[in-house]
Amino acid sequence: MKRFLIVVGVLFLALTVAGLPFMGACAPAEPELVTLRIQSAYPRGDLSMEGLAYFAEAADKYSNGTLKVEVFAEPEIVGMFEVPDAVVAGTLDMGMDNGGFWGGRGVWIGGVEFGLPYGFLIPEEDTFIDKANEIRRFFFEDGLIDILRAEYEKQGVYFLDIHSYGPVPFLIATEAGANAFQGTVDDIQGLIIRTDGLWMEWHNNMGMTGVDMPPPDAYTQLQTGGLDAHIWDVSAYIGMGFEEVAPYWVHGEENDHAIGHIVVNLDVWNSLSAAHQEALAKAGEEYWDKLLLDYDQAMKDVMVMVAAGTVTEVWMSAAVLAHHQEVGFALWDEVATRDAACAEAVALVKAWRGVD
């Protein structure tokens, strides 16, 4: 009997050991740890760049710690204008910028995405947050996101999600520039303004001279008289210090919100597991929500600067504003002729905004 029990025990042990590889094959594999690098086209101090910390934290949270996102600002890996090419090439896994940067690669719809002149004015909503969320609804429910994803996929990138920069163009100026905007249309002719993308075409069509450069260079040019005005978002005053060289905040050009994006190299996106893709998608949504709160607070903070006399609000004259509107709306129709995607996107914006 004792010998029988020993034999049974040995057989049971042998079967157990033999079955271990099979059991291991059936057990769920641990998720692979993946690290991705994202760079903003904007420098440190810019609210949207600093807010990428939210995106990284959310990706970590929604992946249960298996997806790490390393965040960089320009020019820590590549320069401001090199972000699109770096994402396409795979030098960056992800990029955060806006559609205006992609015009150089022939993504003309990027100008519509960022915001046609006066295209993202939302008078039917009262609050900063509600205006932004109506724009997000338009992107995701009225079909614009589908057009964008198809166009960016042609470049070898996946269009992940959008975010807001608050009111843009956030136009700031030196004293001479501010005086010109409060004067006649003739007064703004030849003004030198740091601008970008579709806005540069708008400014040039109005008779100004648009130039683009990274913010540190623009700061120096405003300080030394090489620029009269500069467009960015409220980060120019909240975080970047431009009130020191351009303390006049000029109203009249701004949309309620301008829209940026996060894009992912397509090969990188396709290499991710479904769980990691879902984690990035959820992180993009959380970034939208948390960044909105930052920009909402920043707009309140800049009013404190106004009350303290650090920043001076001025409004364009009626004549200069009318010139902006005439030239700006004409640009909508010109953009619609650039390709089929632009024509479709502009038609969507016109129908949404009730513009003929």
pLDDT of amino acid 104: 87
Domain spans of the chain, in order of start: 34-165+258-302, 170-255+308-353
What distances in angstroms separate CA 127 from CA 51, 257, 260, 285, 292, one per listed residue? 21, 12, 20, 20, 12
Q: Please report which helix (H) or strand (E) contains residue 35, including its range.
A: strand 34-40
Ramachandran angles phi, psi of 260, nearest 5°: -110, -175
For residue 26, pLDDT over 50 is answered with no
pLDDT of amino acid 144: 98
The pLDDT tens digits of the residues spanning 70-99 come to 999 999 999 999 999 999 999 999 999 999
Q: What is the mean pLDDT of the chain?
A: 92
Do the Cβ atoms of 230 and 218 come closer than 8 Å?
Answer: yes
Chain centroid to CA 106 = 18
With the CA atoms of 302, 307, 309 and 310 taken in that order, what torsion angle do they form, in degrees rounded to the nearest 10? Answer: -20
Ramachandran angles phi, psi of 164, nearest 5°: -105, 145
User: Is 170-255+308-353 in the same CATH topology as 34-165+258-302?
Assistant: yes
Q: What is the mean pLDDT of residues 40-46?
A: 96
Tell the CATH topology of 170-255+308-353: D-Maltodextrin-Binding Protein; domain 2 (3.40.190)
The pLDDT tens digits of the residues spanning 276-299 come to 999 999 999 999 999 999 999 999
pTM: predicted TM-score of the whole model, two decimal places = 0.89
Tell the CATH topology of 34-165+258-302: D-Maltodextrin-Binding Protein; domain 2 (3.40.190)
59 or 22, greater pLDDT: 59
